[in-house]
Amino acid sequence: MGTAIRRQIKPENKKQMKRRNFLSRMTQAGGGALAARVITPGLLANAPAIITSAQARPLTPFGVMSGDVSADRAIVWSRTDRPARMIVEYATTESWQNAQRVVGPAALEPGDFTARVDLAGLPAGQKIFYRVSFQDLSDSKLVSEPVIGSFRTPPTGKNNIRFVWGGDVCGQGWGINPEFGGMKIYEAMRRMQPDFFIHSGDTIYADNVIQPEVKLDDGSLWKNLTAPEKSKVAETLDEFRGNHRYNLRDENFRRFNAEVPMLAQWDDHEVRNNWYPGQILDDAKYTVKSVDLLAARAKRAFLDYTPLRFNADDPERVYRAYNYGPLLDVFMLDERSYRAANNANRQPAENEETVFFGSAQIRWLKQRLLASRATWKVIASDMPIGIVVKDGKNYEAFANGNGPALGRELELAELLRFIKRNRVKNVIWVTADVHYCAAHYYDPAKAQFNDFTPFWEFVAGPLNAGTFGPGEMDDTFGPQVKFTGIPKGMKPNRSPKDGLQFFGAVNIDGKSGMLTVGLHDIGGKQLFSVDLPPQK
């Protein structure tokens, strides 16, 4: 599936693969990570035959995804349209020599017919080709057309690494517009052939309605695909799931997912704008007033529709870490699940009102940073550090305006102090949330709180949502704005048609360890770049 895969097909297989790719766009695959059994290559001949009646087969309209890839493991996800058993075949070549077949879990109604398989025993630094099909549980002769995907496992040596990141998808009423070419930025990211993708949150906009048409400033119309689940704010579990299903209707997104593993985190719009635990809504759009109930349903939908490996000790935990060999560790944070209520954010000392990460997540992050032997440590934060993000009269993120560290900034200040005093080197932050791209250098010489080592923060997004900004900067940690990717005086909520959609890309050179960060527009054009040599 996808042009990159087709280019590598041997000539004698082109006709067969062309037909398979065509059918896979019309069907596609389903996901839940249960124990799977591996069948040896010699037993592949015993697989049930695929019958020819496409109407009778299970369908897989949302493609395949991979994620949580390590040197020897990976999650493969898909969804079908009925009770059916997931089957995954995988190999290290496109000719499928020595392929292994994994009989996975049943995709059933409680999981919205999603399923996932945790592939184990994979070779490091190797491209893995896989195909997913579903066997109807009512009639074992009915098997879906296979859907093909691929990913590369992390290296054990100092190989080149490339990844992309961004967030904010289908927000502010800007949905999938086929006349525009759909969510085109995913195709621009796919063409870079990254090793993985960090989805920095706002994977959906559960609180934003998608109208059939939106009138633009020039009088033309932006025409969205619509869905019943996008006609109102999401409150039921199926409505939250429907928001994820809506995004997966985009061909660019499905093609990207089939070739690039995802590391996913969530932010606010998976539930609703600026939510926090314990919040009770005073909003006529919602019949469900408890945000805790909405968030529980939203998190279930998020976990159903992202290729995450569930933690044995806490299956709902979103924060996690990934190793990509000796050059890179990635730390994915959750700044939504454990925060206190949004407030004035000016407390002079840490207390129950200043909690943002939560004590357990802070301890985990410190321990993982100390244990890391990778040259580079990338902290993926779903919210920016130095940009002021308001929630009415209160504050949504760390920043609360110029001055000393107060409120939620105290938790961050302690983390930055810990990094400095323990000589944890080569830390950068990547984030999204604010709907524009920027590069910030945090300089203790220009900061109100200065007990930290200088570092960079890079902001990307939106991927397919309204463009805003730039935001007000807070001088507490001394951010120096080195680049902003939007024009001055821009009207807010620009549509994707204006081209102001952004993603970030990181390249690490295997020989020198040099890390290069680029910020790119909707077509892939590089707008900014900086080279960061590793500190020894």
What per-residue confidence (pLDDT) applies to 54? 64
Name the CA dihedral angle for 398, 370, 375, 451, rounded to a multiple of 10 degrees. Answer: 50
CA atoms of 239 and 262, how far apart (whole Å):
23
Distances (CA, A) of 167 to 268, 323, 434, 502: 12, 22, 9, 9
Low-confidence ranges of the chain (pLDDT < 70): 1-55
User: Which residues make Cβ contacts (< 8 Å) with residue 184, sequence separation at least 6?
Assistant: 252, 496, 522, 523
Contact criterion met (CB below 8 Å) for 354 and 407: yes
Task: Label the pairing between strands 455-459 and 427-431.
Answer: parallel
What per-residue confidence (pLDDT) applies to 206? 98
What per-residue confidence (pLDDT) applies to 401? 96
Q: What would the two tokens of residue 316 be?
A: 């709902």
Q: What would the two tokens of residue 119 be?
A: 């592939």
What per-residue confidence (pLDDT) applies to 27? 35
Q: What's the pLDDT tens digit per position in 298-317?
A: 999 999 999 999 988 899 99
**Which residue is listed with tokens 């579990």?**
237
Distances (CA, A) of 192 to 213, 465, 525: 32, 22, 11
What per-residue confidence (pLDDT) applies to 53? 60
Closest listed residue to residue 456, CA positions, set 480, 440, 475, 433: 440
Instruction: Output the CA angle 499-243-78, nearest 5 degrees.
Output: 100
- The answer to whether the peptide bond before residue 470 is cis (omega within 30 degrees of 0) is yes
Q: What would the two tokens of residue 124 be?
A: 């490091």
- Entry field: residues in the chain: 536
What per-residue confidence (pLDDT) applies to 166? 98
**3 state SS of 269:** coil
What per-residue confidence (pLDDT) applies to 50? 46
Closest listed residue to residue 415, CA positions, set 364, 374, 458: 364
What per-residue confidence (pLDDT) applies to 25? 37
CA atoms of 498 and 465, how far apart (whole Å):
11
Q: In the beta sheet, which residues pair with residue 15?
A: none
Q: How many CB atoms lie within 10 A of CB 251?
A: 18
Q: In the beta sheet, which residues pair with residue 439?
A: 458, 483
CA atoms of 373 and 325, how far apart (whole Å):
9
- The answer to whether the peptide bond before residue 155 is cis (omega within 30 degrees of 0) is no
Question: Which residue spans within 407-499 are E strands per DSSP?
Answer: 427-431, 438-442, 455-459, 479-484
What structural domains does the chain harbor?
A: 3-152 (2.60.40.380), 161-532 (3.60.21.70)
Instruction: Output the CA angle 258-264-270, nearest 5 degrees.
Output: 110
CA atoms of 338 and 354, how far apart (whole Å):
11
